[in-house]
Structure 1
Amino acid sequence: MKLLIGQSLKERQKIVQLTSQPFSTRAKKHDEENTFPMENIADLKKIGYTTLTVPKSYGGQGLPLAEWLPLQETIATYDGSTSLSIGWHMGLITQISESQNWPETILDRLFYEVLHEGKLVNAAASEPETGSPTRGGKPTTVAKKENDSWIITGRKSFTSMAPALDYFIVSATMEDGQVGNFLINQSAAGVKIEETWNSIAMRGTASHDLYLKNVRIPNDHFLEVIHPGKKSPAGWLLHIPACYLGIAQAAQNFAIDFANTYSPNSLSTSIKELPNVQVKIGENEADLIQARHFLYSVAKKWDVSTAEERVQMQGELGAVKYHVVNSAVMIVDRAMRVVGAQSLFKDNPIQRYYRDVRAGLHNPPMDDRTLLLLASQAFTSSE
């Protein structure tokens, strides 16, 4: 069933749900073997999922945030790693569409290949030497101009979905000291993926290191000048809290199923009748409701705002990520308390939810940056 047939969010959610159900079973295998769920990505491509954010002017659906973020949440209830991985592609296509800063020839080619050939793209910005690019460190990856080409050399880390990517958006420092983004094809000579990813969380994202050794790219693959640490508001990054919200929902679902069926011989019924269990489930429901309202109301606001209005939304976007992810961590923790010591058993998926959800604390924007920004805005408005 193709997503292009679905005319409403509810219809698309149903299609994505049916497609994603097998991801849950596969997630255990990929987590334990530290492998990438290539079959999940193939399934999403089959229903046209990876094309949904391509702009209508290029033949795509051009779905706004409020229409594709719920789909990301749905995928995450079955496999957080798949949701976070594909979310980078979906979000970057959204950003590229909104900014239109790239050379027109590159935009035409990329959108065509995403639509008709299933090509995937992600950014490669983090480096071992600089840490998160949001902290403002200048890339040690370098780009040198040579006639009508650029020569790129360096190393990038946290390259999510590396085995499935067709293109990398690579940040590099140029000879004049400026930093630029460059588009590099995975098949280019000198491109190498080293399987370094061995995190205990989000193991299925395959966020390996990308090595670039004298990679020659055409002149027009220089995309734009960027300023590390001076990020403009980016609504598409809300795919991050949407993912962790889905993981939290998965933990809540597991806890409810467990409470409905677990009946120790000290009780005449299942533990769902215990007041302390009901309170934890109720607290989780309250947090899920609050998180969804916050996430999707800000997403809708972004969709209808002008470019000038979006510039003022940095604090709101950061606050969404801060509240939703921290709530998701608490939701999973409470769910584990409902399940008890069995939640630590390797065969129970809830221990994977616990490991995966904590990864959200280290996705951008970081909590301290958000809180400092909100404090600055509060002091400024009081003057």
Structure 2
Amino acid sequence: MKNIITANGHPKAKDELKQVCKVLIEVEKTKDYPKFYSFLKTTKVPFISCYEKDVRKVYQESFRVLHRIGEVSIPVSVALSMHYYVLASFASYPFSKTSTVYWKREVLLNKIKKEGLLIANTGSVRTYKDASGNTKIMAKKENDSYIINGKAPFMSLAGIADYLVFTAELSEGSNAVFFIPSNNNSIVFEDSVFGDTMQGSFTKSVTFENLNVPSSNVIQLDQSEQERCEILVYQRSWFQALVPAPYLGAAYRVILQLKEFSGKKIKNGKTLSESERFSDTVGDLMIKYKAACQLCEQAGVLLEDFRVSNKSSLEKLFEASVVAKHFSTHYAEEIVNQTRSLMGTRFLTPGSITNKVYKEIVFGALQPMTDTDIRDYFGKQLMYKKI
């Protein structure tokens, strides 16, 4: 039985992914990341959702791609996970064919596929509100367009993506999703606090200054409170289910580095790999890795099982995605830390993949939902929900 990582996609897609990773390996040496993203857009790799309609296959292929790219670069894979989850959730949500939203979506998907467009988005809600003066994104209707003002603190692929996706609050209190080209003078990108640690992700803050967006580029979420909630929760579930892939890919790469190290390190006439104790330790790392992959795969199954207006299916999906994100990112971090203790100073060799991963692996648990959010959610489920 093929699992979420080894599942085979279309042969051409496999060849393209192999070439994408080959280019990325070279770009990691030069740090010319725009070159990588330009090449990526010439392939079908980022556009799985535009070609495949089976939700579970979309998830499996997307996860596999992000995992493989994560073996080379966490920042690049994390950035692409933002594109993947927005595109996948938008493409797979079961809008009614009689709705205007459905046809708007089909037109946009066709445009993305035909022109090879990458999407950046403003990310999920954070645990703490910003007291530094950052304003939320607001939209004001003027004739047949909207005027957007506000600031989002984090956006991956900023300045690289062709289109931006964000949710803004309308003056009457409802929300709408906006799709706009990124090359607009009313959009200002500024470097985020991560510096070189997440180089390649192009994570920046974005400010909208009287940005004019035509109504044709807007999907309103104000039809009903239930539908609005469903769409946003469904989208967040895709995010939580996909974002572990980069970190698990990196953790797996570290395990492979440990395997190579163990075959060369000799003590008392034996290689480290011949030690029973070492085998036991590596087994523990693989258990964590496999368990994390299984949790993610289960979230993919529930994405396929989601049904509109079915509160139970949405709740199960959301909780499965949160659990997958929580344990996967923590297990990935534990794998890296345990490997560091086994490899010692060799692990921290400047310029090594293990040293690079060590600095980046911590971002997994910090991405929303954070541990604080997750504990709060499940705590309230116990305290306030009837059992």
- Structure 1 residue matching 2:185: 3-state secondary structure: coil
Q: In the alignment, which residue of structure 2 is the partner of 1:93?
A: 87
Deviation at 1:381, TM superposition (A): 6.9
CA spacing shift, 1:25–1:283, aligned 2, 3 Å: farther
1:234-278 deviation line (CA, Å, top 9, x unaligned):
442111012211111011111111222234xx5424332344433
Select which of 340, 347, 362 maps to 2:344.
340
Deviation at 1:318, TM superposition (A): 0.7
Aligned 1:149-168 pairs, distance under 5 A:
149-168=145-164
Greater displacement, 325-334 / 294-303: 294-303
CA spacing shift, 1:304–1:177, aligned 2, 3 Å: closer
Deviation at 1:125, TM superposition (A): 4.7
Q: In the alignment, which residue of structure 1 is the partner of 2:198?
A: 202
Q: In the alignment, which residue of structure 1 is the partner of 2:264?
A: 261
CA spacing shift, 1:25–1:335, aligned 2, 3 Å: farther
1:289-324 deviation line (CA, Å, top 9, x unaligned):
211122113312322443425312222211111111
User: What is the rounded CA distance, in whole Å, between the counterparts of 1:56 and 1:378 in structure 2?
Assistant: 38
Runs of 4+ in 1 over 6 A off after TM superposition: 134-138, 226-230
Q: In the alignment, which residue of structure 2 is the partner of 1:214?
A: 210
CA spacing shift, 1:382–1:224, aligned 2, 3 Å: closer
Uncovered stretches (5+) of structure 2, i.e. residues with no partner: 1-6
- Structure 2 residue matching 1:294: 3-state secondary structure: helix
User: What is the rounded CA distance, in whole Å, between the counterparts of 2:384 and 2:150 in structure 1?
Assistant: 40
Greater displacement, 373-382 / 324-333: 373-382
Q: In the alignment, which residue of structure 1 is the partner of 2:301?
A: 300
Q: In the alignment, which residue of structure 2 is the partner of 1:188?
A: 184
Q: In the alignment, which residue of structure 1 is the partner of 2:142?
A: 146
Write the letter of the residue equivalent to 1:326.
H
Greater displacement, 349-358 / 11-20: 11-20
Q: In the alignment, which residue of structure 2 is the partner of 1:242?
A: 245
Deviation at 1:371, TM superposition (A): 2.7
Say whether 1:80 aligns with 2:74: yes
8 Å Cα contact 1:248/1:329 also seen in 2: yes
User: What is the rounded CA distance, in whole Å, between the counterparts of 2:344 and 2:354 in structure 1?
Assistant: 11
1:222-243 deviation line (CA, Å, top 9, x unaligned):
3223789995244421110122
8 Å Cα contact 2:154/2:192 also seen in 1: no
Greater displacement, 239-248 / 109-118: 109-118
Greater displacement, 230-239 / 9-18: 9-18
8 Å Cα contact 1:53/1:63 also seen in 2: no
Say whether 1:352 aligns with 2:356: yes
User: What is the rounded CA distance, in whole Å, between the counterparts of 2:55 and 2:305 in structure 1?
Assistant: 17
**Equivalenced residues, count:** 363
8 Å Cα contact 1:141/1:152 also seen in 2: yes
TM-score with structure 2 length normalisation?
0.82
TM-score with structure 1 length normalisation?
0.83
Greater displacement, 275-284 / 337-346: 275-284
Aligned 1:1-383 pairs, distance under 5 A:
8-9=8-9, 11=11, 12-13=13-14, 15-27=16-28, 29-30=30-31, 37-54=33-50, 63-99=57-93, 100=95, 103-104=101-102, 106-125=104-123, 132-133=125-126, 140-199=136-195, 201-225=197-221, 231-233=232-234, 234-237=236-239, 238-263=241-266, 267-307=268-308, 308=310, 309-313=312-316, 314-378=318-382, 383=387
CA spacing shift, 1:203–1:348, aligned 2, 3 Å: same
CA spacing shift, 1:193–1:260, aligned 2, 3 Å: same
- Structure 1 residue matching 2:159: 3-state secondary structure: helix
Deviation at 1:144, TM superposition (A): 1.9
8 Å Cα contact 2:190/2:206 also seen in 1: yes
Greater displacement, 328-337 / 359-368: 359-368
8 Å Cα contact 1:21/1:78 also seen in 2: no
- Structure 2 residue matching 1:78: 3-state secondary structure: coil
Deviation at 1:201, TM superposition (A): 3.9
Identity %: 16
- Structure 2 residue matching 1:205: 3-state secondary structure: coil
Q: CA RMSD in A?
A: 3.1
CA spacing shift, 1:189–1:109, aligned 2, 3 Å: farther
1:126-181 deviation line (CA, Å, top 9, x unaligned):
6xxxxx34668996222222222211122222110112211111233332233432
User: What is the rounded CA distance, in whole Å, between the counterparts of 1:56 and 1:276 in structure 2?
Assistant: 45
